[in-house]
Structure 1
Amino acid sequence: MSKPADKTKILEDGLRYKSKVGGSPFLTASNPGAATMSCFLCGKHRPRSELKSRKFIGKSQAVCDPKCG
């Protein structure tokens, strides 16, 4: 028998969890075009269709299209 999961609790120093709920806040999509990525410049998660590729320091990165907002 497994023991019940504890609720998330932050210690008094505010930096560590005694327990943490599993999972991801970002849903996985069955359609690869519906998946999200974060913008290299602003960090917001957007659908891939709303991102474009730009070169930064010789490497292509996904950024918001037309610009971060």
Structure 2
Amino acid sequence: MARADSKTTVLEDGLRYKSKVSGSPFKAAASFGTATMSCYLCGKHRTRSLMKTRKLLGRAQAVCSPSCKEMDAAIAAG
């Protein structure tokens, strides 16, 4: 299968994209409670205040609180 032609090129300064917005959509927050983390179970980013730690596979992992389904329903409703 042939590879599609790339519409981007590497510029002399090393940058590849001219139209891409710089930075990350997950900006660092000034306060610890408003920082985001991804849920270990569903992978969605939530603020730390909406998560809890749960022991999974022998380690403490951040997961949605009370559950991923209830969190999605609450966000959809509100």
TM-score, normalised with respect to structure 2? 0.62
Structure 1 segments of 4+ aligned residues over 6 angstroms from their partners: none
Q: Sequence identity, in percent? A: 53
Which ranges of structure 2 fall in alignment gaps of 5 or more residues? 10-15, 70-78
Residues 29-59 of structure 1, C-alpha deviations (whole Å, 9 max, x = no match) = 1111110000000000000010000001110
Q: Point out the structure with the larger helix share.
A: 2
RMSD, aligned α-carbons: 2.5
Paired residue secondary structure (2:37) = strand
Distance in 1, matches of 2:39 and 2:33, equals 16
Distance in 2, matches of 1:39 and 1:50, equals 10
Distance in 1, matches of 2:5 and 2:35, equals 36
Aligned residues: 58
